Structures are given as structure tokens and as C-alpha cells.
Amino acid sequence: MTAIKSIKLEGRIAATPLGINFLRAEWWGDLSRFVVIRYSERDGIEGSLRMDIDKRAFIDHIADPAKDEAVQSQALPIWEILAKLRNKHDWSSARAQGL
């Protein structure tokens, strides 16, 4: 069973004006450059977008262009949070495992 790690984004990244609320970033490979950003829309429907950490960009898009533009504009703020917290997360996890 693959262990899923996550960092909460809710409360750290404001919802977009069109009501997309970023919930959390998830990943299952400590050394991987990919994370999945989970979000919810106003109607409660949840979705996911992959982010390439090295490219500092989402590699998925939302079909609605206006929503997509709002989401893509949040890639860098989300990346900055991940760059700061994910390394610490992985380091403390490695220490806990005695690595």
C-alpha cells in the first residue's frame, strides 16, 4: 500500500474569485517532482490537478477557460508553500524512520 503524504492548502491559499478552493497537495514519492492538488468548487464538486514542482506549473487544465486562468495564476503561490514545507515534511519523515 502506497503511503500518501499531504500538505494542507486550505487557509493558506485564498479561494479564487470563481469559487475554487484549494484543499491540499498530495504525493506518494518523496523524491518525485509531481504532486496532485485537490480542490473543490462552489457546488461541492472536487477535482484534481497535477503540478510539476520543477516546472513550477500545473500540467493539467480546467475546461472552463475563466476558471482555468484563475487556477493557473495560483500555481506559483502554491509552489512556494510546497517548496518550503514539503522538504521539511520529507526530512522529518526520513528522520522518524531513522534515515
Partner 1 sequence: MTYFYKGVGVGTFLHATDLRTTGIAPARPTLSFSLSAAMLHVSSGVVMSPCISVTRSYAVAEDYAKYAGLTAPTLAKPAHVYVIEIPDPLPTGIAIHDPVEYVASHNRNPLASPSYHHNGDAKFLLAVVDPASHLGRFTTPPARPPGMAGGVPSGPVVTSELHTMVNSLRDAEILIVGIVHPAWVIQRFDIR
34 binds partner 1 (CB under 8 A): yes
Near partner 1 by CB under 8 A: residue from 15, 18, 23, 53: 53
2 binds partner 1 (CB under 8 A): yes
88 binds partner 1 (CB under 8 A): no
Nearer to partner 1, 8 or 84 (CB): 84
B/e letters for 45-55, b = 16+ CB within 10 Å, e = fewer, are eeeebebebee
Residue 73, Cα to own-chain centre: how many angstroms? 13
56 binds partner 1 (CB under 8 A): yes
Contact (Cβ atoms closer than 8 angstroms) between residue 36 and residue 21: no
Near partner 1 by CB under 8 A: residue from 73, 87, 92, 93: 87
CA distance 48 to 26: 10
